[in-house]
Amino acid sequence: MKALVNTDVETLTYMDQADPIAKAGEELVRIQYSGICGSDMHAFLGHDTRRPTPIILGHEASGTIVGGPRDGTLVTINPLNGCGTCHACRSGKPNICLGRQIISMPPRPGAFAEMVAIPSENLLVVPRAELLQSAALTEPLACSW
């Protein structure tokens, strides 16, 4: 697949990357829209040690599930996933899980790519194609809410 990779400070390279492989409980999403977050800019400028280069940035995204029983389903992505087993996750608060991961931070590549693998529970169905572009802004909207 093609991806926009942050290869160095203030350097983005459009290049081939290995296609993501969905693990158990995950689905592949073909990215159609992706926003640019302030944290992407911090990483691009070299101000975010949590996002070392090379890395695929981007965590505000929407697209279409590819393959599996929900093939063709339009979705937006909750980019943060917890471990699923700790007290915080079992209490419905994966945002405070100590083992949480977010796409665009190692070990999870981000959405400035043709596809991402993401846990099924992190995908929210978008009811109509004309909403898909706006749906990419679900994550920043949720943060500001």
Residue with tokens 């990215």: 31
Instruction: Of 8, 7, 11, 14, give the one whose Cα is nearest residue 114.
Output: 14
Q: Which amino acid is at 98?
A: L
Please name the helix (run of DSSP H) or strand (run of DSSP E) that holds residue 124, with its range, or none: strand 123-125
pTM beyond cutoff 0.85: yes
Domains of the chain: 2-127 (3.90.180.10)
Predicted confidence (pLDDT) per residue in 47-71, tens digit: 999 999 999 999 999 999 999 999 9
pLDDT tens-digit readout, 36-47: 999 999 999 999
